[in-house]
Amino acid sequence: MAIKSTIFKANIQIADMDRHYYSDHVLTLARHPSETDERMMVRLLAFAMFADEGLIFGKGISSNEEPDLWNKDLTGEIKLWIEVGLPDERVIRKAGGRAERVVVLSYGRTAEIWWNENCGKLQRQLNLTVLKLPCETTQALAALVNRSMQLQCTIQEGHIMITSDAGMIEIEPQILQGSLRRAGGCS
């Protein structure tokens, strides 16, 4: 018998001063049995960073055909494709051909090694942004996990602050390629 996904609820208040985006989102996150709390929280962080009414979670870890998050326009054209972790460079290149814009949020102890192995192949992809999140902050995000989370996210000048009853975390993503252009979630 297959193990089912664990369901988490997150109420997140987003105040993104850089994009002038202010909204509350009630999210349901399904954590795949092979997914860690850290990865799930990085997906949630990605949502907060690129929040938009059209941004949704994809099948992610259980599918190579869908990203962790994406934003499609009314015609079905993919405006934004977001991958979390250390995806295969072929998946990223394929996404670059399907989406207007691709973002990778890399994290973990081997993120630097992954980037060094893939940067030569990926630097030709002009619609790609690659960000690296510090290990200590993604691990601190994992410590905030609760089946029902109340979170506040404030973004200003590229700095991100996540707060909850369990504490506060400051995050400054390192830009490895592209820019942190996030206007409207899909420009």
What pLDDT was estimated at residue 59?
A: 79
Domains of the chain, earliest start first: 6-185 (3.10.640.10)
Confidence at residue 3, expressed as pLDDT on a 0 to 100 scale? 77
Which pLDDT value is given to residue 2? Answer: 66
- Would you say residue 181 has pLDDT above 80? no
What does the pLDDT look like over 84-139, one tens digit per residue? 999 999 999 999 999 999 999 999 999 999 999 999 999 999 999 999 999 999 99
pLDDT at 53 over 50: yes
Is pLDDT at 47 greater than 90 in this prediction? yes
The pLDDT of residue 152: 98
Q: Residue 26 pLDDT more than 60?
A: yes
Reply yes or no on whether the pLDDT at 164 is more than 80.
yes
pLDDT reading at 62 higher than 70 = no
Predicted pLDDT of residue 184: 41
On the question of pLDDT at 182 being above 70, the answer is no
**Is the pLDDT at 183 greater than 50, yes or no?**
no
Model pLDDT, residue 76: 92
Say if residue 185's pLDDT is above 50.
no
pLDDT value at residue 180 = 75
Instruction: Yes or no: say if 154 and 132 are a contact pair by the CB < 8 Å rule.
Output: no
Average pLDDT over the chain, rounded to whole? Answer: 92
